[in-house]
Amino acid sequence: MTQTPWLARPNPRHSARMRLFCLPCAGAGASFYRLWQSKLPADIEVIPVCLPGREHRLAEPAIDQIADMVLALHAAVLPLLDVPFAFFGYSMGGSIAHHLACHLARAGEPAPAHLFIAALRAPNIALSRLPVHALPSAELWQHIASYGGTHREILESEEFRALLEPTLRADFKLAETTFSGDQQKLNCPITVFGGTTDTSPPPQDLAGWQLATTDDVKIHTFQGGHFFILDHESTLLSIIASAMLQ
């Protein structure tokens, strides 16, 4: 099967019943999901998505427009849609996963059997804060630090910040300029995960995901902010496994 820099698949599981494509949040990479394969049942093959501008693709410019991102990902994932699959997207990754699922449906390609969304408001809810992708550097990093989840070594290193800032700006631009209210309804179930503090969309901003599909929507909230997953990964993975293999 053709190799692509977009997908981390060092040890393919050809006997898996389903594939789970995992898209990261702004600034993160495929390594965000590096341990998921060992924590999910063998029937699920985890395929982290490697976006340009980070990790082994650091030299490539990051993509800051949803249409360009979806077209590139469509070509990358298409050869692996020969078995049932699902998308998991965290924050910015959730927007990409949603738009990619809708794009596949419009193109008449296989559609995901399930869509998992974390830390992302529903498509019918507008961004409630001011955009940050064009802020001066110090203010941008102050905003990033407020989410938690970023290593102190990065926040305190001018060299690291300078290296990572272009990709972060591109990611935030993509997330903040993506409009999702005009996407067609999907026909698959959607499971939504959210936190409880003000760095995560409030529960009322998650309920609108029901408008994005004709199927069922389930919402799970966890104590914590934007990176609630760091404290509740086991529970989240158990929910994902149950939904995929039911």
> For the stretch 144-174, what's the b/e string if a residue is b when 16 or more beta carbons lie within 10 angstroms of its beta carbon?
beebebbeeebeeeeeebeebeebbbbbbbb
Is 91 catalytic? The answer is yes
Alpha-carbon separation of residue 224 from 52, 147, 150 (angstroms)? 29, 10, 15
105/172 Cα distance (integer angstroms):
26
29/48 Cα distance (integer angstroms):
8
Structure tokens that stand for 82 in this block: 């020969």
Query: Which residue is catalytic, options 15, 38, 91, 234?
Result: 91
Longest dimension (CA), the chain: 49
Tally the C-alpha atoms within 13 A of residue 155's C-alpha that lie toward its C-beta: 14
What residues act catalytically? Answer: 91
